[in-house]
Amino acid sequence: MTALVIEHLEKTYTDAYTGDEVVAIGDVSFSVSEGEFVSVLGPSGCGKTTVLNTVAGFVRPTSGTVSVAGNQVSGPGPDRGVVFQNHALFPWKTVLGNVVFGLRMKGMGRAEREARGREYLSLVGLEGFERRYPHELSGGMRQRLGVARVLATEPAVMLMDEPFASIDAQTRRRLQEDLTRIFEERRPTVFFVTHDIDEAVFLSDRIVVLSGRPSSVREIVEVDLPRPRTWASAVDHPGFRATVAHVNGLLAEGEAEGTAADVE
């Protein structure tokens, strides 16, 4: 089953001052199967976050369609929970209050949603922090809570917008391993945006490599790494190094073309 289908997505912005048309997304098509982990990778400013925002329903496409579980996207909805780069937790809600937010919106009863909330908190390793407030957590813990808050509502696809970009390198490795463990345990459908090649290869089943602005799909790379994955085993795996090198090559080529185009 396909969970997410993106067909001929295009997005054009009009510059508010100059009135110029800026093409953010040229022509992007790909799909994500149910229970699959797909990353979107591209040079900075290539519009990969715009692709995610379109899937989330925050941004309307200029043309093309996005459908999730067979329904065309027309606005934000609980079938597409988002994990934000800056976590976007509600500061006035406790850890438990944050994790059950989506379930409350669904109208689930208190006892049931709190039991479910606690289950997901323990899945991400936050048991015992139910009564804390987000400002009392570390950056890594906040992002774990961000993941739990989305997973608790069991969305058709979880959207992650460079969730580990503002976290220190050591914690980031731990979070990536934990995310992989959770993915292997629960098999949610994940749509992950990043500019970190190692991260994309380590986490994903497939990587959609975008070209520079205006973005189009350059290549979809299959990652052939056995699961369960850990960093210790991945770095020694020849497949991991080969895939990283291949993706790196794709991005470097794109960059070279970009510079050539600039010179013209």
Partner 1 sequence: MAVDSAEHTRKAGSGRPARAPAPLHRRAWLRLSRNSAFRTLGPFVPVVGLWWLIAALEVFPPAFFIGPDRVVVEFAELLRKGVLPGYLADSLERLAYGAGFGLAIGIVMGFLTALSLRVRKALWPILLFFQAIADIAWLPIVIVWFGFSLTAVTFVIVYTVVFPLMLAVVSGVEQVPRELVLAARSLGAGRLRVFWEVTVPGALPSIATGVRTGLGYGWRALVAAEIIVGTSGIGFMMFDARRVGDVSQVFLGMVVLGILWYMLDALILAPFEKATVERWGLVRGMEDDE
- Positions that interact with partner 1 (CB under 8 A): 56-58, 75-78, 80-82, 84, 86, 88-92, 101-102, 105-106, 133-136, 149-150, 153, 159
Closer residue to partner 1 (CB): 118 or 229: 118
Cβ 246 to partner 1, closest distance in Å? 33
How far is the C-alpha of 123 from the C-alpha of 219, rounded, in Å? 34
Cβ 195 to partner 1, closest distance in Å? 19
Cβ 155 to partner 1, closest distance in Å? 9
Closer residue to partner 1 (CB): 136 or 253: 136
What is the SS3 assignment for 96?
helix
Closer residue to partner 1 (CB): 159 or 210: 159
Closer residue to partner 1 (CB): 136 or 219: 136
Cβ 254 to partner 1, closest distance in Å? 29
Cβ 258 to partner 1, closest distance in Å? 30
How far is the C-alpha of 87 from the C-alpha of 185, rounded, in Å? 23
Closer residue to partner 1 (CB): 39 or 98: 98
DSSP string, 126-159: -TT-TT--GGGS-HHHHHHHHHHHHHTT--SSEE
Question: Nearest Cα to 10, choosing from 84, 79, 62, 73?
Answer: 62
What is the SS3 assignment for 218?
strand
Closer residue to partner 1 (CB): 87 or 213: 87
Q: Which class for 48: exposed (0-12), middle (13-18), buried (19 or more C-beta within 10 A)? A: buried
Cβ 190 to partner 1, closest distance in Å? 15
Cβ 75 to partner 1, closest distance in Å? 8
Tokens of 183: 């993915």
How far is the C-alpha of 260 from the C-alpha of 264, rounded, in Å? 6
Identify the DSSP state of 196: -
Strand order in the sheet with 63-68: 71-72, 63-68, 2-14, 21-33, 215-222, 206-210, 37-41, 190-194, 158-161, 82-83
Closer residue to partner 1 (CB): 152 or 221: 152
Identify the DSSP state of 122: H
Closer residue to partner 1 (CB): 31 or 86: 86
Cβ 242 to partner 1, closest distance in Å? 36
How far is the C-alpha of 51 from the C-alpha of 197, rounded, in Å? 18
